[in-house]
């Protein structure tokens, strides 16, 4: 398996977990020492801290039962993956979001995230 193929597999697995609202599967995709960087949260260090953010985000902002998701773009090259997506829940609209992932040993070691999350 090439690095690009592995990256696409991990990014797709992560996306599918998000759409299902599968918080444990989302958290399991991260390396123990992963970093997540976004304008909204700054730098979050470690799987546990990222897990706390994801738990809040998926439970409160985009719960799977009331959210429509759209994956608009996926790119990968080597260990680098990139997606553009949007979502709408009963309480929030994400008109645009992009995430970049660095995958090492089939785990996310770095993620950057940017987008607009607006309450309805």
Sorted by where each begins, the domain ranges of the chain are: 3-119
The CATH number of domain 3-119, selected from 3.10.450.50, 3.40.47.10, 1.10.30.50, 3.40.50.10210: 3.10.450.50
Q: Cβ(118)–Cβ(45) under 8 Å?
A: no
pLDDT (0 to 100) of residue 78: 98
d(CA 67, CA 85): 13
pTM of the model: 0.96
Q: What is the pLDDT of residue 1?
A: 77
Distance separating alpha carbons of residues 109 and 36, to the nearest angstrom: 8
How distant, in Å, are the alpha carbons of 2, 16, 89 from that of 27? 24, 13, 21
Across the strands, what pairs with 36?
A: 44, 111
Please list the rounded mean pLDDT of every run of 10 residues in the chain (120 residues). Answer: 94 98 98 96 97 97 96 98 98 98 98 97
How far is residue 117 from each of residues 28, 61, 62, measured CA to CA in Å?
Answer: 24, 9, 10
């Amino acid at each position: 398996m090439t690095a690009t193929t592995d990256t696409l597999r991990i990014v797709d697995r992560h996306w599918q977990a998000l759409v299902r609202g599968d918080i444990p599967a989302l958290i399991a995709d991260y390396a123990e020492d992963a970093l997540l960087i976004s304008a909204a949260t700054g730098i979050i260090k470690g799987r546990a801290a990222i897990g706390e953010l994801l738990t809040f985000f998926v439970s409160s902002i985009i719960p799977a039962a009331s959210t429509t998701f759209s994956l608009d773009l996926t790119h990968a090259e080597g260990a680098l993956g990139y997606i553009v997506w949007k979502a709408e829940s009963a309480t929030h609209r994400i008109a645009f979001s992009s995430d970049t992932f660095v995958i090492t040993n089939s785990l996310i070691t770095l993620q950057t995230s940017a987008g607009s999350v607006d309450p309805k």
